[in-house]
Amino acid sequence: MSPESTASTKSTPARSRRKTEIGAVTSDKMNKTRRVVVERLVPHSKYGKMMRRRTVCHVHDEANESHLGDLVEIMETRPMSKLKRWRLIRIVRKGAQQALAGEDEGAPPA
């Protein structure tokens, strides 16, 4: 058996696709951690009525760039702490509080 053939048989397995979700930041009080709520609609098992369900994810935000009310995209990742299993990918839309704060800075003082 040649060395080339053994190297090709020991290749690493392909990593599976990671889940991504879009949710709203509900807490930004922790350093580098955000609490994100992901809402979904599921049918009731017996009656079929659509019900709202939510999942709370603790997300790693390295640069502390997201804030309360922002809509963010998150990706599943390795466990970073007891609760953190997700990381921030991008901010889809800034929250209402951030938009108002940006407008107040440009306005002249009264």
pTM of the full predicted structure?
A: 0.73
Amino acid occupying residue 63: A
The per-residue pLDDT for range 60-99, each reduced to its tens digit, is: 999 999 999 999 999 999 999 999 999 999 999 998 876 5
Residue 35 pLDDT > 80, yes or no?
yes
Residue 55 pLDDT > 90, yes or no?
yes
Domain 18-105 fold: OB fold (Dihydrolipoamide Acetyltransferase, E2P) (2.40.50)
Cα separation, 97 vs 78, whole angstroms: 31
For strands 50-60 and 84-93, give the pairing.
Answer: parallel
Residues 33 and 84 sit within 8 Å (Cβ to Cβ)? yes
Residues 91 and 70 sit within 8 Å (Cβ to Cβ)? yes
Residue 5: pLDDT band with limits 50, 70, 90: low
Give the dihedral sign, CA 45/21/66/93: negative
